[in-house]
Amino acid sequence: MGGGYGCIIMKIIQYMLIGAGIIPFVTGCVSSPVALAPVGPKAGGQVAAGAKGHLQVFSATEKSPAIASDDPTYFDLHTGYEIEDTSGKHLKYVANHMSNMDEWPDTVSLAEGAYTIEAEAAGYGTVMVTVVIAKGRTTTVHLDRNWQPPYGASTNTLVFLPDGEAVGWSTATAKAN
């Protein structure tokens, strides 16, 4: 009988370990994206003619497959993202690249106003960013960790990930113009 109890205890321990190993995966799937402060166009930036503004999101990148089986060339494609209005209504999915060789993010035309994007930030995961679109201006969000603000830019004019990485210009600076 003693061997039977030992086997049962081992099974219980085994199931507990399996359960403990699954918990991080399950909770990772249900965790909500990190919300960042609103990002707007750079103060003093170029103003183009037209009734709409533009959005460009340098989301996290992923390697594209080789173009041909014997071609060792890979491209860093920006991941797609979602655009919602301020009420949470889905407006558009942006693939964020035209082909498997296009390393430049798409530029999307939007009416003036505020929108929410849900995109991947390199080394950080999913983030939600409110973006402010101004007529004739381009709002750019940098989530690929390849952007450095100009030397001397005030931290009051920038929006950051929680780990301190700058992602764009604060909407407070856009209102100053």
Are 24 and 42 in a shared domain? Answer: no
Q: Is 162 exposed, middle or buried (CB count within 10 Å of its CB: 0-12, 13-18, 19+)?
A: exposed
Are 61 and 73 in a shared domain? Answer: yes
Are 113 and 165 in a shared domain? Answer: yes
Are 89 and 11 in a shared domain? Answer: no
Are 81 and 97 in a shared domain? Answer: yes
Instruction: Give the tokens for residue 142.
Output: 């940098």
HSE on the CB side for 111, CA within 13 Å?
A: 3
Are 8 and 68 in a shared domain? Answer: no
Are 25 and 72 in a shared domain? Answer: no
Q: In whole angstroms, what is the distance from residue 106 CA to residue 59 CA? A: 10
3-state DSSP call for residue 25? helix
CA distances from 114 to 103, 121, 137 (A): 27, 20, 13
pLDDT score of 133 more than 70: yes
Residue 142 near residue 131, CB atoms below 8 Å? no
Instruction: Transcribe 56-79 into DSSP letters.
Output: EEE--EEEPPPSSTT-----EEEP
Question: Looking at the 3D structure of the chain, how many domains does it have?
Answer: 2
CB count in 10 Å sphere of residue 43: 16
Q: Give the tens place of pLDDT for each residue, 30-88.
A: 567 888 899 999 887 778 878 899 999 999 988 766 555 566 677 788 899 999 998 99
Boundaries of domain holding 82: 33-175
Identify which has the larger pLDDT, 73 or 138. Answer: 138
Are 45 and 83 in a shared domain? Answer: yes
Lowest mean pLDDT among 29-38, 134-143, 147-156: 29-38
Global pTM reads 0.76
Are 1 and 60 in a shared domain? Answer: no
Are 46 and 25 in a shared domain? Answer: no
Are 27 and 46 in a shared domain? Answer: no
Query: Which residues in 1-22 are b (16+ Cβ under 10 Å) and which e?
Result: eeeeeeeeeeeeeeeeeeeeee
Are 22 and 99 in a shared domain? Answer: no
Q: In whole angstroms, what is the distance from residue 174 CA to residue 134 CA? A: 9
**pLDDT mean over 124-151:** 94
